[in-house]
Copies of this chain bind each other. A is one copy, B any other.
Amino acid sequence: MASNTEENYLKALFQITIESGSKIEAGTNEIAAHLGVKPATVNDMLKKLKAKKLIQYEKYGKSSLTKSGKKIAIEVVRKHRLWETFLFQKLAFSWDEVHVVAEQLEHIQSKKLIDKLDAFLDYPAFDPHGDTIPNAKGELAITVKKTLLEEKIGHQCKMIGVKDNSAAFLQYVNKLGLSINQTIKVISRQPFDDLIEIEVNKKINSISPKFAENIIIECKECMIK
């Protein structure tokens, strides 16, 4: 069984690599900065985690999770986010207070506890920060933030913000039926003038690339494990 500290290293590695969606390995200094410890300390732990076959690591190289390391990391993330949801929904903690307490609660060892908590909260999909919660099987939908311009044709996504805050732009946003949390589907792209067809609330509209570039969306990237 992994110690609290080991769990924290595995979680850090998971968040830096897999969940970031942007890289597959992490450097020693990077992990140290993420955890607020010294690189020397991380180095010792990397050797230990390698010996336990929880990470892949070679001297002077970068680190990544093995299958069993990833499993533990996802369990910790699941516990963290379920506890955050509990604190927020049931105990009326505010959005910004839940994290520090969940940092402690995530290390409580009891499979039964966490599965019962999951049921008590009615199997939530998102924590109070909007991050996805892994299910009991350890499956986790990874979402990535980007602009609507970058979304692929045929994909669905969720609007989570705007880049431009001018009145003109926001009025246009409104007119198209767009708002925070609104689901958007990209239908097509015209080769001739680059206009993008989107579907919002079953209505189809065309928007310019310039407009699309100012809509921040979140889309499901992949399913982990």
| A87, CB-defined interface residue at 8 Å | yes
**Binary contact track A99-130/B, C-beta < 8 Å → 1, others 0:** 01100110011101100110010000000000
CB–CB B93/A116 < 8 A: yes
| Interfacial chain B residues near A223, Cβ < 8 Å | none
Copies of this chain per assembly: 2
A101–B115 CA distance with the chains assembled, in angstroms: 13
| A91, CB-defined interface residue at 8 Å | yes
| Interfacial chain B residues near A91, Cβ < 8 Å | 113, 116-117, 120
A38–B131 CA distance with the chains assembled, in angstroms: 46
Interface residues of A in 33-75 (CB under 8 A from B): none
CB–CB A101/B93 < 8 A: no
A101–B97 CA distance with the chains assembled, in angstroms: 24
| A1, CB-defined interface residue at 8 Å | no
CB–CB B101/A116 < 8 A: no
| A168, CB-defined interface residue at 8 Å | no
Q: What 3 A-B pairs come out closest when comparing CB atoms?
A: A91-B116, A101-B110, A104-B108
